[in-house]
């Protein structure tokens, strides 16, 4: 039977939030070249005797050639582009210098820059890095797809899991969905789902009981895919040539969805690849509680990203306006609207630009409206939750602050005057 029960199960998501998601369909299977991709998971690095470079050894998955242009992925480091200058491979239990190799142990000589130090569990691949997520372009997670191959061999190594956690938390995934209303293409060729559409996420039954699963329940996992090549391995997903609709989810999207419900026991990344990656929710909890994750995505203690209610000091002139319409701002608006739809205790959400007149420092401001008598502690919890949702989206925007509607008249007046552009959500 294997690790998963391949009989497709579906979960209908009936929450207010899921019914109103504005999802970008990414059905681009006909545009994706899934051939000739390879990965080398680095297991060791040896300096050459003459001091000119290093020999990098590891396991090859796929086929590579001498002269191939490749990319070196390492956690918390810039991707390095280089060329394979020499290949030594294990062929029929003998090590030989070769021009090409496939699915075997290899040692590679690369023309890496002098300042690049290769670490264990780095990933070498011919897949280029993606600068940003674009629903019109096939999703790729080269480093994550490569490191998953080491799950069986290095599954007891904490260093391996630290690297896996990094790429997992920085990943964006494809997951298939079912809808009761077919989406419509917009002017950019991207499918948009109407607010009345009900969305069903798939489930797979793990044949291994995952940590945290009650004894009387099956371990059901959310299938996630690093790329279309991995999704295509799900046989019979589409019947009679029907279109497969998909949704792009960040790790933060996935984690939030799992923690809001009690259906899933964890995730399965590339479940139909030769080496799948099945992780229970407690494993994901461990990732989100690490200092590295909190620094990249969570609440930053005593730092510029700390969540607190905005106060305007006496005598300080603050200019408030409508944020520029960038892709980043559009994504933040969408996330704020989604958050408001999920929480009935929020009456409205507005989004502004805030400029200090003397320093010209530009910040952004989320204004939340709550019912009369609402507890301050609960307000802060919402601010912290929103921060976690927005932080992965913020690139050019360096700081987002928060205000409560009704406490600063100047802010309330500006929101009222520019309601059409600033008001994101009203309950």
Q: Check: CB of residue 403 under 8 Å from CB of residue 367.
A: yes
Q: Which fold has domain 318-426?
A: Alpha-Beta Plaits (3.30.70)
Residues forming CATH 2.40.30.10 domain(s) in the chain: 39-125
Angle at 196 between CA 133 and CA 201, to 5 degrees: 55
Q: Check: CB of residue 110 under 8 Å from CB of residue 160.
A: no
Report CA Rg, the chain: 24
Cα(107)–Cα(23) distance, integer angstroms: 43
Instruction: Give CATH for domain 39-125.
Output: 2.40.30.10
Q: pLDDT tens digits, the chain, 427 residues: what are they?
A: 234 444 344 343 322 222 223 333 444 444 445 568 999 999 999 876 565 667 999 999 999 999 999 999 999 999 999 999 999 999 988 999 999 999 999 999 998 888 888 999 999 999 999 877 776 778 899 999 999 999 999 999 999 999 999 999 999 999 998 888 877 777 766 666 676 778 888 999 988 888 888 888 888 999 999 999 999 999 888 776 677 888 888 898 899 888 877 889 999 999 999 999 999 999 999 999 888 887 777 644 433 344 444 454 445 567 888 888 888 888 898 999 999 999 999 999 999 988 876 667 778 889 999 998 888 888 888 988 888 888 778 777 777 888 899 988 888 888 888 888 899 999 8
Residues forming CATH 3.30.70.1350 domain(s) in the chain: 318-426
Strand order in the sheet with 24-25: 24-25, 191-192, 184-185
């Amino acid at each position: 039977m294997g690790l998963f029960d391949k009989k497709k199960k579906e979960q209908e998501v009936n929450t207010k939030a899921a019914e109103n998601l504005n999802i970008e369909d990414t059905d681009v299977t006909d545009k994706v070249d899934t051939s000739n991709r390879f990965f080398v998971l680095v297991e060791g690095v040896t300096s050459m005797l003459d001091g000119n470079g290093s020999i990098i050894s590891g396991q090859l998955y796929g086929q590579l050639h001498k002269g191939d242009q490749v990319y070196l992925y390492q956690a918390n480091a810039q991707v390095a582009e280089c060329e394979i200058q020499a290949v030594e491979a294990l062929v029929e239990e003998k090590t030989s210098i070769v021009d090409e190799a496939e699915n075997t142990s290899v040692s590679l000589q690369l023309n890496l820059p002098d300042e690049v130090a290769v670490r264990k569990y780095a990933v070498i691949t011919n897949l280029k890095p993606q600068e940003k997520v674009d629903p019109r372009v096939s999703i790729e997670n080269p480093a994550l797809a490569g490191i998953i191959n080491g799950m069986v061999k290095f599954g007891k190594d904490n260093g391996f899991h630290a690297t896996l956690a990094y790429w997992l938390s920085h990943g964006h995934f494809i997951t298939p969905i079912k809808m009761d209303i077919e989406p419509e293409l917009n002017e950019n060729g991207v499918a948009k789902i109407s607010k009345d559409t009900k969305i069903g996420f798939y489930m797979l039954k793990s044949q291994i009981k995952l940590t945290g699963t009650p004894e009387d329940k099956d371990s059901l996992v959310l299938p996630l895919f690093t790329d279309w090549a991995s999704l295509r391995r799900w046989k019979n997903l589409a019947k009679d040539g029907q279109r497969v609709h998909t949704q792009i989810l960040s790790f933060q999207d996935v984690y939030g969805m799992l923690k809001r419900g009690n259906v899933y026991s964890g995730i399965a990344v590339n479940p139909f690849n030769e080496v799948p990656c099945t992780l229970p929710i407690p494993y994901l909890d461990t990732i989100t509680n690490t200092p590295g994750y909190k620094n990249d995505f969570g609440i930053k203690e005593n730092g510029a990203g700390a969540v607190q209610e905005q106060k305007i000091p006496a005598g300080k002139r603050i200019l408030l306006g409508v944020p520029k319409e960038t892709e980043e701002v559009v994504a933040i608006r969408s996330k704020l609207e989604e958050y408001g739809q999920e929480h009935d205790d929020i009456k409205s959400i507005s989004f502004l630009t805030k400029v200090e007149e003397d320093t010209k420092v530009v910040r952004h401001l989320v204004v939340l409206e709550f019912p009369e008598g609402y507890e301050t502690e609960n307000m802060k919890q919402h601010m912290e939750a929103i921060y976690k949702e927005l932080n992965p989206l913020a690139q050019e925007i360096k700081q987002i602050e928060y205000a409560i509607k009704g406490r600063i008249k100047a802010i309330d007046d500006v929101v009222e005057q520019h309601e059409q552009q600033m008001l994101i959500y009203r309950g």
